[in-house]
């Protein structure tokens, strides 16, 4: 066997038979198996880079392949920069022992995505850093040498998709979060510091899954989606990639569509209850309008009063938001507002028009909502709409009250605000608004309950959607069954404007985040 073949064989063995076997026992793929599973083809870079291994006393043991595998891949026929940490080598610790990092923060794989303007896909499974790395370098290097510039530049240039399987700690956890879409397997963990660090710092004994397991991480929005296993997680990454362009200088790919654009949706008449206090499933509304089977939900486990995701209408990729009356009555709390900001940033960055189904009684109120900073996040949600340069088509499904309505449409741009006959709107919800505005008169009345009911009945006449339609306060009232066709016609007409807005390579696309 030649030296070349011998070195290649050594690199393919990763951290060795024992460490690979342990990875398998824990039900996880190795980094090379993940790459083989997701990529049509893979041209590896830095295959022969090595890590020199020492024992606790500083004695050299030998060499192992570097703890990162990366290169140029094709995923569903598209070129992407692909890489991931190898947990079988030093628990995927940073490659600070190399002259140049291969991946992670500012490594070769990120430069590849930046220079070639191609998506970046990363598998994250690492401890983020360890004291052994500091010892090997001879000094603490995070303060002086760890640059995040390239990682954040990429968010304004190309799709960045990350998957966590196993443990993602510290810097590795941060790199997973600094992405446009992240997914983790249900048996994985992600946190700033693990149980030993928590025990030492706070004196708290806690299980790693309680600290940063899938339900915890996706329940607070640190990671977007939870997957059953690694195959499901990789399928989700590929699905999201399918909605996005190669970079910000291109438009998303429009695909062939077998779902007739003029398909009516009579089921919408049954989905929206006649009783305005009765809830319904927002996903049913979305699925009735978008191309069949195209809706991909993002962040289902947090910010639950707002449903967000990606879909297609007549083959055109779009972002979708919908108020969810099954949680907080659809009121927008801080988490939902943050969730909206995240999706709007994604859509605005990659030229995805937005379809927004509105049934919002206002911003969430109460001490818990105020302590969660609902107003600051609510205003950021409004700003995300005001600053959006992509078309926003708003469908007023039912309630639209208070300041939260400003986070659903921008009257200063030529978007499109459609109303269904089931819509109702006002400055405040009638019940609470009447109590606030006429409290003294109600309390002084001989029959307070009767007076309150009379005032509420009078106010309900003012929220008749036809009054606003007649004043051209919304652009059009439509039959809900015609929503798909109307939306598709405006999305199709807007393709030219989207193309004209795509900046030439090299133009500054810096964005506030």
Give 257-296 pLDDT, tens digit per residue: 999 999 999 999 999 998 888 999 999 999 999 999 999 9
CATH, domain 268-427+464-501, list 3.90.226.10, 3.10.150.10, 3.30.9.10, 3.30.2130.10: 3.90.226.10
Average pLDDT over residues 156-165: 97
Whether residue 486 has pLDDT greater than 60: yes
Whether residue 410 has pLDDT greater than 50: yes
Sign of CA dihedral 261, 350, 348, 361: positive
Q: Which residue did the predictor score with more confidence, 153 or 27?
A: 153
In this structure, are residues 296 and 242 in contact, taking their beta carbons and an 8 Å threshold?
Answer: no
Query: Percent of the chain, pLDDT > 90?
Result: 59
Residue labelled with tokens 């309150």: 452
Look at 18-22, 368-372, 486-490 and tell me which has the smallest mean pLDDT: 18-22
Confidence band of 512 (pLDDT split at 50, 70, 90): very low
Cα–Cα distance for residue pair 376/338, rounded to 1 Å: 10
Nearest to 355 by CA among 404, 399, 388, 403: 388
3-state secondary structure 434-454: HHHHCHHHHHHCCCHHHHHHH
Whether residue 61 has pLDDT greater than 80: no
Give ranges for CATH 3.90.226.10 in the chain: 3-243, 268-427+464-501
Cα–Cα distance for residue pair 177/368, rounded to 1 Å: 26
Average pLDDT over residues 242-264: 96
Confidence band of 513 (pLDDT split at 50, 70, 90): very low
Look at 12-21, 344-353, 463-472 and tell me which has the smallest mean pLDDT: 12-21
pLDDT attached to residue 13: 75
pLDDT attached to residue 404: 92
| Architecture of the CATH domain 3-243 | Alpha-Beta Complex (3.90)
């Amino acid at each position: 066997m030649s030296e070349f073949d011998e070195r290649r064989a050594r690199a393919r063995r990763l951290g060795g038979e024992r460490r690979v076997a342990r990875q398998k026992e824990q039900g996880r793929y190795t980094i090379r198996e993940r790459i083989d599973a997701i990529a049509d083809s893979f041209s590896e870079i830095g295959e022969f880079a090595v890590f020199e291994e020492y024992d606790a006393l500083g004695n050299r043991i030998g060499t192992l392949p570097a703890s990162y595998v990366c290169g140029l891949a094709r995923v569903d026929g598209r070129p992407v920069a692909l890489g991931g940490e190898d947990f079988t080598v030093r628990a995927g610790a940073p490659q600070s022992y190399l002259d140049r990092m291969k991946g992670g923060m500012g490594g070769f794989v990120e430069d590849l995505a930046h220079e070639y303007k191609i998506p970046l896909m990363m598998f994250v499974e690492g401890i983020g850093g360890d004291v052994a790395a500091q010892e090997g370098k001879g000094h603490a290097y995070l303060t002086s040498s760890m640059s995040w510039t390239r990682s954040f530049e990429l968010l304004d240039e190309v799709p960045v998709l990350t998957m966590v399987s196993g443990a993602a700690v510290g810097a590795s956890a941060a790199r997973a979060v600094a992405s446009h879409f992240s997914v983790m397997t249900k048996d994985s963990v992600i946190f700033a510091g693990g149980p030993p660090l928590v025990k030492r710092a706070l004196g708290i004994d806690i299980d790693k899954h309680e600290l940063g397991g899938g339900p915890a991480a996706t329940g607070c929005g640190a990671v977007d989606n939870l997957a059953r296993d690694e195959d499901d997680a990789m399928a989700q990454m590929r699905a999201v990639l399918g909605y996005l362009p190669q970079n910000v200088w291109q438009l998303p790919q429009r695909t062939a569509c077998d779902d007739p654009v003029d398909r009516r949706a009579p089921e919408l008449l049954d989905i929206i209850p006649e009783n305005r206090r009765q809830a319904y499933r927002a996903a049913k509304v979305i699925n009735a309008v978008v191309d069949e089977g195209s809706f991909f939900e993002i962040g289902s486990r947090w910010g639950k009063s707002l449903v967000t995701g990606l879909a297609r209408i007549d083959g055109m990729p779009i972002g979708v938001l919908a108020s969810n009356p099954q949680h907080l009555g659809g009121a927008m709390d801080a988490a939902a507002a943050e969730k909206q900001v995240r999706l709007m940033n994604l859509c605005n960055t990659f030229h995805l028009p937005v379809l927004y189904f509105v049934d919002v009684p206002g911003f969430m109120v109460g001490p818990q909502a105020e302590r969660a900073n609902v107003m600051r996040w609510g205003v950021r949600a409004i700003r995300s709409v005001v600053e959006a340069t992509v078309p926003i088509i708003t469908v007023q499904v039912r309630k639209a009250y208070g300041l939260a309505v400003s986070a659903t449409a921008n009257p200063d741009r030529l978007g499109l605000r459609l109303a269904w006959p089931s819509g109702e709107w006002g400055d405040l919800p009638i019940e609470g608004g009447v109590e606030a505005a006429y409290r003294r008169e109600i309390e002084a009345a001989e029959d307070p309950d009767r007076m309150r009911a009379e005032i509420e009945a009078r106010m309900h006449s003012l929220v008749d959607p036809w009054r606003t339609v007649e004043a051209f306060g919304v652009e059009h009232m439509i039959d809900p069954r015609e929503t798909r066709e109307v939306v598709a016609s405006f999305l199709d007409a807007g393709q030219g404007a989207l193309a004209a807005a795509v900046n030439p390579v090299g133009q500054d696309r810096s964005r506030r985040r």
